[in-house]
Structure 1
């Protein structure tokens, strides 16, 4: 089995790396499952007091969903897909330890959402972030939920309907990237921050993260229910498969 997620321990900090650089760390079912397992291990390790999440390579934190997987979905598989995201997002939200996202490139779609589920995000001037799912025929439900919690409804509508990507300056300005540092310093700054967070009282840290989960839980549950409803309807029409094939063909033509 390919190691799509790598883990290492650096002192009191666990480092989890998305490891599909050949496809810009795009998600598939196995990668989602391995990421849950990695977070489970970090939670169980009492020596780990903070976690960093990053992506392999220097081009992407994550490009979002691997369309080669979702283009084959029918409504039933689309519903199971939402369940996979529920499992991953619940694991991130329920972790007792703080999570720092070390952004080393693009964070798009569901990878943007995962970055927003982390507690603090550090990146560099070349980072781009956004919710381009509409461009490949994916209706967004979890994205609008987490974006609205952080940047408000107006900006959420803009990003969801246009599918545009934000540059690093805009990301810092609206608060989706907390700190911007030179590219070569992203991981060292993330380690410094995570190491500082690891010194905080663990019970207070756990209770603080628990409270953030509690105040956003109703919206989370609503977006999952909407995800099942909307994805079943969308995939029943055949539009996502058509749009994904078109998107992939255009991308292949650009590479050619």
Structure 2
């Protein structure tokens, strides 16, 4: 059914795997659409009481946006792009079931944001996380919103403007990774936590998650409105396309 993701059910746990390991699970519009459908299916499946999201391979949970897609955007397509993220983020934020992110390697850019939209994050010592979008000419809008909610303005400015990636120890120290385990134990630990959460009273779980969403909804909507305005201006300038071409050329040269 799906081309870019995998799904399976283990007992009370639904598992979604980003499945483009050859490009570090970077996503395009089709993958985002598939994720919305997969979350919807597990939300409506009574036997599933918790969800895990992870990435295929051992190098990355996700490298974020596939730049081969966004390098061709104009202002109108950039606005549509924001709407695509709204659909995915809204679906994730309205899940009534706990969502665990099983991190295996890099979580960068929009993949970092998706990881932060989970309720728990399990990682290993090799995980790196951050918001390097500025390095490829992409202005950040939803990223600063979710980071500020979790780590405050000063750290959000640091990560957004520098584009640096944090190592697992720093991410754990500031509360973005809940548990660090050996890499070969990430999925097992995520499953154990998911099964523990799946046994919690479902009405209380749903209402707790609903309240967290309510507490952050105004900021989410503001970030989306800002995203339309900012991305239209950015892409109309032509800078993102130039920077992404440079970034992709440098990456290709390193691999040659």
User: Matches of 2:49 and 2:6 in 1, distance apart?
Assistant: 18
Q: Is the 8 A contact 2:137 2:243 kept in 1?
A: yes
SS of the equivalent of 2:14 reads strand
> In the TM superposition, what whole-angstrom CA distance separates every residue of 1:95-128 from its partner, at most 9, and x where no partner exists?
0000000001100000000000000000000000
**TM superposition score normalised by structure 1:** 0.99
> In the TM superposition, what whole-angstrom CA distance separates every residue of 1:31-72 from its partner, at most 9, and x where no partner exists?
000000000000010000000000000000000000000000
User: Matches of 2:111 and 2:35 in 1, distance apart?
Assistant: 12
User: Matches of 1:53 and 1:29 in 2, distance apart?
Assistant: 18
Structure 1 position 162 matched with structure 2 position 162: yes
Instruction: Tell me the residue number matched to 1:84.
Output: 84
Instruction: Tell me the residue number matched to 1:73.
Output: 73
Instruction: Tell me the residue number matched to 1:183.
Output: 183
Structure 1 position 137 matched with structure 2 position 103: no
> In the TM superposition, what whole-angstrom CA distance separates every residue of 1:155-187 from its partner, at most 9, and x where no partner exists?
000000000000011010011111000000000
- Match runs of 1:186-197 below 5 Å: 186-197=186-197
Structure 1 position 251 matched with structure 2 position 251: yes
User: Matches of 1:6 and 1:110 in 2, distance apart?
Assistant: 19
Q: Runs of 5+ in structure 2 lacking a partner?
A: none
Instruction: Tell me the residue number matched to 1:211.
Output: 211
User: Matches of 1:211 and 1:18 in 2, distance apart?
Assistant: 28
Structure 1 position 146 matched with structure 2 position 150: no
SS of the equivalent of 1:139 reads coil
User: Matches of 2:243 and 2:2 in 1, distance apart?
Assistant: 29
Q: Is the 8 A contact 2:151 2:174 kept in 1?
A: yes
CA drift at 1:192: 0.1
SS of the equivalent of 1:125 reads coil
**How many pairs were matched up?**
256
> In the TM superposition, what whole-angstrom CA distance separates every residue of 1:115-152 from its partner, at most 9, and x where no partner exists?
00000000000000000000000000000000000001
- Match runs of 1:3-14 below 5 Å: 3-14=3-14
Structure 1 position 108 matched with structure 2 position 103: no
CA drift at 1:89: 0.1
CA drift at 1:2: 6.1
User: Matches of 2:100 and 2:201 in 1, distance apart?
Assistant: 17
Q: Runs of 5+ in structure 1 lacking a partner?
A: none
Q: Is the 8 A contact 2:97 2:205 kept in 1?
A: yes
SS of the equivalent of 1:100 reads strand
SS of the equivalent of 2:6 reads strand
Q: Is the 8 A contact 2:2 2:34 kept in 1?
A: no
SS of the equivalent of 1:161 reads helix
